[in-house]
């Protein structure tokens, strides 16, 4: 299908992240979210990626369906764990042959899980910067990379994080998408350090609307992201009130975006968690409406392939 043309002027640019569904039931819900959010004509969407052949297959299937059945500009995440360079390159060629022109290039978590010491795979790409160089050697892909306003959990300090981001940029990365964060002052300080380091690529804030504050506390801890006390207090007493929780979450995400706009940011990357209702509520608060009435034209929900 043809790509979207998001040239009509709007206040902000934005992209969405999805994760690949692994069951027929999950695929049905994911596809409903895709249909709803495609109507907003994002600049692109990305699909997350797991290490190992069995976890890569759902990503390929999701990316292929997005390319075949929607007008979305689609990027696949790509990691280097559990694979040699030749194996990663083979995956890249298979995605390119399927029509993928964009990647989100990541090192990936250590095979032992979060907290385990990372060791590059023998004969593999050693980190995200090396992967960017490898991708550019294959084709002139559009490449996004990761950035961490609150420091990657394994980094010694912010300076080490920024040095890695500079290596990614020097190797050809087109933009950085940040880990989600909730303190805009922290992001602004980080961005200042990034620019002082001579890194000129766009650094796009990653925004996480809070689907479930209890689950987020656990997830954020593993990612090294901080949930501020003031934000946790907004949810106090409403953890079991789904309607109130939803409204607070939409308010918070919209408020964060509006404040970042005041600071000069114009591009945002939203972590959708494969759900559309909360994103739609955030956009309503931002004054952004769908551009395609009634969802995705010509992309009707079908039974997932088995």
Known catalytic residues are 17
Q: DSSP string of 67-91?
A: HHHS---EEEEE--TT--HHHHHHH
C-alpha 208/C-alpha 196 separation (Å) is: 27
Tell me the three state secondary structure of residue 283: helix
The single-letter DSSP state of residue 13 is E
Using alpha carbons, select from 27, 12, 5, 13 the residue that is nearest to residue 35.
27
| H-helix or E-strand spanning residue 169 | helix 158-170
Residue 16 β-bridge partners: 45, 270
C-alpha 97/C-alpha 91 separation (Å) is: 10
C-alpha 2/C-alpha 57 separation (Å) is: 24
């Amino acid at each position: 299908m043809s790509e979207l043309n998001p040239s009509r002027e709007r206040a902000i640019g934005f992209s969405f992240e999805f994760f690949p569904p692994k069951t027929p039931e999950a695929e049905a819900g994911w596809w409903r979210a895709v249909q709803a959010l495609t109507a907003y004509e994002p600049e692109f969407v990305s699909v997350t990626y797991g290490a190992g052949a069995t976890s890569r297959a759902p990503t390929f299937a999701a990316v292929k369906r997005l390319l075949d059945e929607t007008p979305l500009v689609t990027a696949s995440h790509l990691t280097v764990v559990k694979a040699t360079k030749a194996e990663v390159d083979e995956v890249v060629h298979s995605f390119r042959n399927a029509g993928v022109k964009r990647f989100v290039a990541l090192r990936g978590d250590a095979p032992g899980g979060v907290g385990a010491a990372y060791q590059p795979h023998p004969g593999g790409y050693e980190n995200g910067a090396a992967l960017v160089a490898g991708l550019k050697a294959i084709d002139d892909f559009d490449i996004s990379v990761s950035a961490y306003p609150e420091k990657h959990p394994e980094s010694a300090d912010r300076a080490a994080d920024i040095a890695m981001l500079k290596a990614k940029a020097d190797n050809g990365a087109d933009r950085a998408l940040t880990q989600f964060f909730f303190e805009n002052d922290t992001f602004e300080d980080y961005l200042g350090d990034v620019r002082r380091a001579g890194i000129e690529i766009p650094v796009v804030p990653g925004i996480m609307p809070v689907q479930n504050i209890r689950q987020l506390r656990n997830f954020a801890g593993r990612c090294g992201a901080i949930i501020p006390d003031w934000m946790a207090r907004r949810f106090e007493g409403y953890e079991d009130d789904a309607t109130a929780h939803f409204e607070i979450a939409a308010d918070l995400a919209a408020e964060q975006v509006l404040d970042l706009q005041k600071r000069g940011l114009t591009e945002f990357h939203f972590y959708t968690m494969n759900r559309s209702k909360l994103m739609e509520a955030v956009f309503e608060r931002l004054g952004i409406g769908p551009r395609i009435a009634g969802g995705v034209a010509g992309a009707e929900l079908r039974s997932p392939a088995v």
